[in-house]
Homo-oligomer: A and B are copies of this chain.
Amino acid sequence: MRTKPTLVEVAALAGVSKMTASRALRGASDVSERNIEKVLRASEEIGYVTNHLATSLSSQTTNLIGVVVPSLSNVVFAEVLAGISDAIQESGKQPVFGVSNYNAEVETGIIRDMLSWRPSGMIVTGLEQTEQSRKLLEGAGIPVAQIMDVDGDAIDINVGLSHVDAGREMARTLLNLGRSRFAYVGSALDNDVRAQKRMQGFCEELSRENLSLVESRTDEGFSSLPMGRELTADILRSGAKIDAIYYSNDDMAAGGLFAAMSAGVDVPGQLLLAGFNGLEFLEGLPVRLATARSPRRQIGAEATRILLEAMKQPLSRDERSLVFRPEIDLGDSIS
């Protein structure tokens, strides 16, 4: 298992200097057709694969864009990544993913690791980074996009939606539908800052009507359908008189639906269930629950677009931020 072929070997085989070989492989000008041909053939023959380490070190630029998300088991971020991949296509850049598991310290480590590869841009999730993370990102001298959330101060580029507003808006909508006795079901509030903000906004809006949550259930661990089912079942067993439940997200809400079904509670008639995200799988459920559709794919794509632009030229304050509004979908809860 010998070492991988280098550019000089390609050049030697093609009978040219390594500079000419370099130019030919990069499709640069200043090379004759004949030599391009020869170099390409030589490269093919010995199975040459360019060494990006050397390329990047030499040219002082990389085609890397670092992306940090809190989780992959959450479809939401998978779609954000898909949006990023889409937008990055054709740019010659290449995304590199990191997962923080909703842990800010882990995130700092990941950011440090990524920066050591000298990416030409960074995309991180949310606005709540550790002090150290912010310092690292600010000192990196590259465009940085913070996505998903806009409730707070951004370092540079900011694309997302206000989760406080999203919670508020859902509360307002449910109030308008005549609901008045609310419960909240969520999970691991410490970790998922955005879910927390939604609940906060939800409660704020309730208090404007002098209302507050009748019941609330949360649990350790990551949100999931079974957890939503269990917590909801617990509320139903308690006999609390409620007519709507706001969930931290759609998975939890779906679990709630099944808890209600097995308890013989009519959804949405007796009990309205509302989630967040607008995931596709909701459409397959027996009852179409209320939700707020977040444009996650778009967020990924637009953030990337702005980031790529910022890599070419400095952007104005306005150009550096983009706020989406979640679209509320009441599903079968409207009538």
Contacts and interface: CB of A to CB of B under 8 A. Distances in A.
Interface of A: 1-4, 47, 49-54, 56-57, 62, 71-73, 75, 78-79, 81-82, 85, 94, 96-97, 99, 112-113, 115-118, 135-136, 139-141, 224-226, 228-229, 251, 254-255, 258, 261-262, 280-281, 283-286
Contacts of A113: 94
Contacts of A280: 224-226
A184 to B, nearest CB: 19
A226 B115 contact: no
Contacts of A47: 135-136, 139
A120 to B, nearest CB: 12
Contacts of A79: 73
18 contacts: A4-B118, A49-B112, A49-B136, A51-B118, A52-B118, A53-B53, A53-B62, A72-B81, A72-B82, A73-B75, A73-B79, A75-B75, A224-B284, A226-B280, A226-B284, A229-B284, A251-B281, A262-B286
A286 B261 CA distance: 8
Interface of A is mostly: helix
A144 to B, nearest CB: 12
Contacts of A62: 53
Nearest to A254: B284
Contacts of A4: 118, 139-141
Nearest to A96: B96
A1 B156 CA distance: 14
A116 B57 CA distance: 13
B52 A116 contact: yes
B49 A53 contact: no
A78 to B, nearest CB: 4
A294 to B, nearest CB: 15
A136 B73 CA distance: 30
A191 to B, nearest CB: 16
A99 B229 CA distance: 32
A258 B52 CA distance: 50
Contacts of A226: 280-281, 283-284
Contacts of A57: 51, 53-54, 57
A293 to B, nearest CB: 15
Contacts of A116: 49-52
Nearest to A283: B226
Contact of A286 (B2, B56, B258): B258
Nearest to A3: B141
A256 to B, nearest CB: 10
Contacts of A115: 49
A113 B139 CA distance: 28
A133 to B, nearest CB: 13
Contacts of A225: 280-281, 283-285
